[in-house]
Amino acid sequence: MKIIATPIADLWIIEPSVFGDDRGYFLETFHEKRLAEAGINTHFVQDNESKSKRGVVRGLHYQLAPNAQAKLVRVVSGEVLDVAVDLRRNSPTFGKHFSVVLSGKNKKQFYVPRGFAHGFSVLSEEAVFVYKCDNFYDKASEAGIVFNDPQLAIDWHLPENECLVSEKDRLLPTFSQANYNF
């Protein structure tokens, strides 16, 4: 397992060791001790899975403190562009985002700590996306930022007219109007 720093502190790309032969492959998707050795000391309590078709954009979502969630995300099949936006007010990268392509083929994972908005766009015909969370879902703590916020200027690797976004996500506030307490 290789743990790779990104330009934003505390965001990590995790490349598992994949052992394959003509029968298939094997890999560890989670190893608490190896993550802790890299400084990722997160106790996960919930796993989620979603299946989406090409063009779907989910996010940018987060939960407000004290119910914020860290996430370890990966794609089982298909390909997505995964995006995290730094909402930590005292961070030198506050308001900046980082993205990485995750796929069933590259097997990369993305660690998104508390204090970040998170979302993804589906680049393949469909994708199965799974993630671990370190805190339980809490509807009252739900928050988000609209995916096409001009201040963030995220390139979702899709033309905006092809983005399939829920009505709920289209009504999210902009970055400058959003509520966050990190």
Average pLDDT over residues 13-35: 92
Helix and strand numbers (H, E) in the chain are 2, 13
- Per-residue pLDDT of 159-178, as tens digits, reads 999 999 999 999 999 999 99
Per-residue pLDDT for 111 more than 90? yes
Residues noted as catalytic: 61, 131
- Per-residue pLDDT of 126-138, as tens digits, reads 999 999 999 999 9
Contacts 24+ apart (CB under 8 A), 160-169: 162/55, 163/55, 163/56, 163/57, 163/121, 164/53, 164/55, 164/56, 164/57, 165/56, 165/57, 166/58, 169/57, 169/58, 169/59, 169/144
Q: How confident is the model at residue 27, as a pLDDT?
A: 87
**3-state secondary structure (DSSP) of residue 61:** strand
Pairing of strands 57-63, 116-122: antiparallel
Which whole-number Å values give the CA distances from 91 to 9, 13, 87, 152, in the listed order?
Answer: 9, 19, 8, 16
Determine whether 54 is exposed, middle or buried from the number of CB atoms within 10 Å of its CB (0-12, 13-18, 19+).
Answer: middle
Average pLDDT over residues 81-104: 98
Average pLDDT over residues 59-79: 97
Dist. CA 128–CA 130, nearest whole Å: 7
**Residue 47 φ then ψ, to 5°:** -115, 140
Pairing of strands 79-86, 46-53: unpaired
Per-residue pLDDT for 10 more than 90? yes
- Six-digit token pair at 83? 């995006």
Average pLDDT over residues 69-90: 98
Q: How confident is the model at residue 117, as a pLDDT?
A: 98
